[in-house]
Structure 1
């Protein structure tokens, strides 16, 4: 068995450049891509991921919108919040930070995110596309 060392910066640089170019072209026609980050509760470990996501977005010109909800939010309240973001035409992508509080059904929350705004590919429709080799999903 052979091993191959993956160098993230080398692999990521051309991807980031291509994304930045596409974002610039979208901005030229008046469309500003925006990623909504949804965090439920105060999870310090998730804050590291959120900070890195914000930096990545900033580096390519994507607006990063952080939405924080109380840890005791109900399932229905969170589903309503996701719905509001789904129908917001200014939000082009959604990422649900994990973990979520135990009283919430993560699968239902993930399912509530519009497949076209699901940047992680966790919606069942997007997982199915991945299984069948269709990687052209999301906004």
Structure 2
């Protein structure tokens, strides 16, 4: 069994990104990322702080626009418009979730697709499905980088994705299909989850339910990607019974230290890509 070490790979990627940032600075452009953070959700504040720290590590200019939960949709849209028009900001990230009185879809659609480094805009999602160059959501993109780093060939593999969110499940499906994998996507309405996971060469799960995937639900030699994050007895765990499933797996991601660090590394990568695109267009 091999541990897919996302922390180690993310550090390697960040070292490469530092070089890319230096090259861009030599050409007169500093990659810039703006984050919009609404409300006091502790998890959101932690994520934003981690993203900010990672930006500094590689030399990306980062700014956080913090707003109280009471902000109106109109005020939020006005801020997004201002950031869209700022030539020094190449990436714009809306930290989710947003308060219930805000229409999340409307907010995400207001982001300039050229600055959509989270890959959530329908324009970018459509290009992803068609296999065109675009900004892919950071978590699925991070999973693909892990496959690449560990020479895991996806061609013809049977993959079961558990979770069908717009942020992880659906874009994960698109990226896998584009690599010629056969993808089975499951969700809360799936009748017999185990019948799907048992026949999969690769199981990817991200729903936020600890011990959802148990040892009897996977076959010998399975590759397991655990995207879930749960707090159990003060410890961070994934959606997979790691202790037992790892005995059957050929490759498995730990939680923490697996997909999480890769998500942030891909955000940095997407921001630098946006800056390069801006430089190309401004010539």
Q: Same fold (TM over 0.5)?
A: yes
Change (3 A) 1:4 1:124: farther
Q: What are the equivalent positions in structure 2 for 1:1-139 lying under 5 Å apart?
A: 5-137=3-135, 139=274
Deviation at 1:136, TM superposition (A): 4.0
Q: Is the CA contact (8 Å cut-off) linking 2:92 and 2:116 kept in structure 1?
A: yes
| Aligned partners of 2:80 and 2:110 also within 8 Å | yes
**Which deviates more, 7-16 or 113-122?**
7-16
What is the Cα deviation at residue 4 of structure 1? 5.8
Give the unaligned 5+ runs of structure 2.
Answer: 136-272, 275-283
TM-score (norm 2): 0.46
Aligned length: 137
- The worse-fitting range, judged by mean Cα deviation, of 127-136 and 85-94 is 127-136
Q: Which moved more, 1:108-117 or 1:18-27?
A: 18-27
2:124·2:134 contact (CA, 8 Å) conserved in 1? Answer: no
Report the CA distance between 1:94 and its aligned residue. 0.7
Point out where structure 1 has 5 or more consecutive residues left out of the alignment: none
Paired with 1:42 and 1:26, the residues of 2 have a C-alpha distance of 35
Residue pair 2:36, 2:95 contacting (<8 A) in 1 also = yes
**SS of residue matched to 1:64:** strand
Contact 2:34–2:62, Cα closer than 8 Å, also in 1: yes
Q: Shift in Å at residue 75 of structure 1?
A: 1.2
Give deviations 1:70-89, integer Å, cap 9, x for gaps.
Answer: 21111111111101000001
CA deviation vs aligned residue, 1:36-64 (integer Å, no higher than 9, x gap): 01011222211110111011101110011
Confirm or deny: 8 A CA contact 2:44 2:95 kept in the other structure. yes
Deviation at 1:28, TM superposition (A): 1.0
Distance in 2 between the 1:80 and 1:106 partners? 15
Provide, for residues 13-38 of structure 1, a one-character-per-residue CA deviation record: whole Å limited to 9, x for no partner.
33212221111111112211111010
RMSD across aligned positions (CA): 1.6
- Relative to 1, partners in 2 of residues 1:95 and 1:4: Cα closer, same or farther, differing over 3 Å? farther
| Rg larger in structure | 2
